[in-house]
Amino acid sequence: MIKIASAADAAEQLRQAYGCFPSGVTAVCALVDGIPVGMAASSFTSVSMNPPLVSVCIQHSSTTWPKIQPRSRLGVSVLAEGQDAECLALSSKGQDRFAGIAWTPSPDGAVYVSGATAWLECSLEAELPAGDHLIALLRIHGLRAEPARSPLVFHGSVFRSLAAVSGAPNGAAG
């Protein structure tokens, strides 16, 4: 066990430890004055079936969240394998994040990335402070899923592919 000696050490050590856990990647997007605005978020998780809730964690330094947070509807796209470029574009700073990305708006202003494995139409339910991030709790109002399409996986600071393991029981993870 390595003890964290300083705040500077902690950031790098925590980044390495957090990188040991694979995660999917989502895009959280909305129309702002008719223009798509969005960001990539890998800290996404299901929260509740009833009511239907998910969460994403957003850095306090985000300049995108304040633009989309007040919108009545947010589109959450679970990015699919092969959408590395879309993820990188939505993570970039100082450029048109949607240049070259196919997207679809909803009538209520949510934006969905085309080709994703799932799309959730959400509204902001609550925000909870959490250190240098905030947890945005989102209520799901509608969805579309294509579970046969593999998700984009981020692990150890690189994108990876899933491999099916034969013999694993359905719902083995609990």
Condensed to tens digits (0 to 9), the pLDDT of residues 128-152 reads 999 889 999 999 999 999 999 999 9
Alpha-carbon distance of 113 to 111, in angstroms, equals: 7
- Chain-centre distance for alpha carbon 32: 19
pLDDT number for residue 12: 74
Domains and CATH numbers, the chain: 23-150 (2.30.110.10)
Give the mean pLDDT of 8-20.
72
Q: What is the mean pLDDT of the chain?
A: 89
At CA 60, angle to CA 31 and CA 86, rounded to 5?
45
The answer to whether 153 and 83 have CB atoms below 8 angstroms apart is no
Helix, strand, coil fractions of the chain, as percent rounded to 5: 15, 45, 45
Provide φ and ψ at 66, rounded to 5°: -60, -25
Alpha-carbon distance of 114 to 96, in angstroms, equals: 17
- Chain-centre distance for alpha carbon 4: 28
Task: Tell me what percent of the residues of the chain surpass a pLDDT of 90.
Answer: 67
Of the pLDDT bands very low, low, confident and very high (cuts 50, 70, 90), residue 115 is very high
pLDDT number for residue 2: 64
Condensed to tens digits (0 to 9), the pLDDT of residues 32-61 reads 999 999 999 988 999 999 999 999 999 999
Higher per-residue pLDDT: 91 or 23:
91
- Answer yes or no: pTM beyond 0.85: yes
